[in-house]
């Protein structure tokens, strides 16, 4: 007979055992999460309120900001709350929900970046056909396909894990439920499941990375025919995208391209992936973009004038 699942909850070890370090984590990550939510909400509100930010690039950016808020919110609030308790408990269903949500929004983020790279490719390499190719229907399809692909990626990951037998121990050396620590706890041979995880998460990250880098190389090569002002603007925009691609894709490539195993550095690497891209994306896309900065200034001027009336 196969092993039965008699685990109803998991114990999370968190980031650090020291109470002082946990209290420091509360202050740092509470501040980071507030800035993440406010920064990405500002981007979403600015794009939707502005009459000048109506190009497909900003539509994709607003979707990316929404995915970033959701991605960070799947794990960080729980991690912050756990800094106050000695025994960090998460139910089995809560653990699987967290696993699904993290991979859903993280996967969607990667696919949205791919859609944004395609948009920049068409804008720079085929400028005369840009409005015809990137119409509202095509943009909606690309965004819908990104969310659907993120869902399919995540549901496969979750179904593979939820059907594994867990008969003890139930201690996860991490601050949230991820696939590698859970495979380590399963009371069954997880070799094939580990291979599928590599094919699902690892190859998606690796393939997306190469597709995105190759697309931006092609874009840069096509800039030779542009004016100096056009080249400057394109390099600035693509530079922001490349920075985001590196922040988003390097950690999951390290985490999931290798066979199923847990390393000492895994917690810090996945923490960086969950915290830093959502936190930095609003800065990357606004500080290097005059159109967004001007729209934000205009938005605050309108609010100030309404407040004075």
Encode pLDDT of 200-234 as tens digits.
888 889 899 998 888 888 888 877 766 676 677 77
The pLDDT of residue 1: 42
Determine the 3-state secondary structure of 12 from DSSP: strand
pLDDT at 303 over 80: no
Q: Is residue 157 part of a domain?
A: yes
- Residue 168, by phi and psi: left (phi above 0), alpha (psi -120 to 50) or beta? left
The pLDDT of residue 308: 59
Q: Is residue 19 part of a domain?
A: yes
169 preceded by a cis bond (ω within 30 of 0):
yes
Q: What is the pLDDT of residues 230-250, one digit of tens each?
A: 677 777 777 777 888 888 999
- What is the H or E stretch that residue 45 is in? helix 19-49
The pLDDT of residue 306: 60
Structural domain of residue 23, as residue ranges? 7-306
Confidence of residue 257 (pLDDT cuts 50, 70, 90): confident
Instruction: From residue 304, give the alpha-carbon distance in Å to each of 41, 52, 290, 307.
Output: 18, 20, 21, 5
Of the listed ranges 17-21, 72-76, 261-265, the one predicted with least confidence:
261-265
Name, of 65-74, 161-170, 256-265, 290-299, the range with top average pLDDT: 65-74
* The total number of structural domains that make up the chain: 1
Q: Is residue 1 part of a domain?
A: no
Cα–Cα distance measured from residue 256 to residue 286, given in angstroms and rounded to the nearest whole number: 31
Q: Is residue 168 part of a domain?
A: yes
Confidence of residue 126 (pLDDT cuts 50, 70, 90): confident
Q: Is residue 301 part of a domain?
A: yes
- Asked if 150 and 104 count as a contact pair (C-beta separation under 8 A), the reply is yes
Q: Is residue 85 part of a domain?
A: yes
Residue of higher predicted confidence among 38 and 239: 38
pTM exceeds 0.85: yes
Confidence of residue 298 (pLDDT cuts 50, 70, 90): confident
Confidence of residue 118 (pLDDT cuts 50, 70, 90): very high
Question: Which CATH number characterizes residue 176's domain?
Answer: 1.20.1070.10
Q: Is residue 2 part of a domain?
A: no
β strands within 16-155, DSSP E = 88-91
- Arithmetic mean of pLDDT, 120-143: 91
The DSSP secondary structure of 115-169, one letter per residue, reads HHHHHHHHHHHSGGGHHHHS-HHHHHHHHHHHHHHHHHHHHHHHHHHHTS---S-
């Amino acid at each position: 007979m196969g092993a039965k699942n008699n685990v109803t909850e998991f114990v999370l070890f968190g980031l650090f055992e020291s109470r002082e370090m946990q209290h420091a984590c509360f202050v740092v990550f509470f501040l980071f999460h507030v800035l993440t939510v406010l920064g990405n909400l500002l981007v979403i509100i600015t794009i939707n309120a502005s009459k000048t930010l109506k190009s497909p690039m900003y539509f994709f950016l607003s979707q990316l900001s929404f995915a970033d808020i959701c991605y960070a919110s799947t794990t960080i609030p729980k991690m912050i709350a756990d800094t106050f308790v000695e025994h960090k408990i998460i139910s089995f269903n809560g653990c699987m929900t967290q696993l699904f949500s993290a991979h859903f929004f993280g996967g969607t983020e990667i696919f949205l970046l791919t859609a944004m790279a395609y948009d920049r490719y068409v804008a720079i390499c085929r400028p005369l056909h840009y409005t015809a190719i990137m119409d509202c229907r095509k943009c909606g399809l690309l965004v819908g396909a990104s969310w659907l692909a993120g869902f399919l990626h995540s549901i496969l990951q979750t179904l593979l894990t939820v059907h594994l037998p867990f008969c003890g121990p139930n201690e996860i050396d991490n601050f949230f439920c991820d696939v590698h620590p859970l495979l380590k706890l399963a009371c069954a041979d997880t070799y094939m499941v580990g291979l599928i995880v590599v094919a699902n998460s690892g190859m998606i990250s690796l393939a997306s990375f190469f597709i995105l880098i190759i697309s931006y190389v092609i874009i840069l090569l096509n800039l030779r025919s542009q004016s100096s002002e056009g080249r400057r603007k394109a390099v600035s925009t693509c530079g922001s995208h490349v920075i985001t691609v590196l922040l988003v894709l390097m950690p999951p490539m390290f985490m999931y391209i290798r066979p199923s195993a847990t390393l000492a550095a895994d917690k810090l690497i996945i923490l960086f992936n969950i915290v830093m891209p959502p936190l930095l994306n609003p800065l990357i896309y606004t500080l290097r973009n005059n159109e967004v900065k001007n729209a934000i200034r205009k938005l605050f001027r309108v609010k100030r004038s309404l407040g004075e009336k």
